[in-house]
Amino acid sequence: MNIHRINPSRRWSDITLFNGIAHFVEVPEGDLGADIRGQTAQVLAQAELALAKINSDKSRLLSVTIYLTDFVNLAAFNEVWDAWFTEGTAPSRACVKAELANPGYLVEIAFVAAAGEGFLD
């Protein structure tokens, strides 16, 4: 089986795929002054773009790990998260409180998804 790397650099690849399974991480890349709802919306919009690059979509997410800087933001995060999914399509998930690399980040999400056609080998 081949390993596919999308936009690889010395430090990371935007998406890494093996055997039809994709791994990628998203952080807020827009307004870091936004509250948790705004940053979560940014991350989820970016995830949709990443999924489109591998002929997939959010209904094909298998698992996520959510990193929050403060659990006081969990309820607001969940509001945006829950609204993003159609009933019955949410992946398994873990949620961790963490210090993130950029102090402006309130959330970071690591995604695992089933890729679409063209990424199965």
First-to-final CA distance of the chain: 5
Residue 116's pLDDT is 92
Residue 105's pLDDT is 98
pTM, whole model, 2 decimals?
0.95
Q: At residue 102, does pLDDT exceed 70?
A: yes
Residue 1's pLDDT is 77
Residue-averaged pLDDT of the chain:
96
Residue 54's pLDDT is 96
Q: How far is CA 80 from CA 55, 85, 114, in A?
A: 24, 9, 22
Comparing 36 with 118, which gets the higher pLDDT? Answer: 36
| Segments of 11-98 assigned E as strands | 13-18, 21-26, 61-68, 92-97
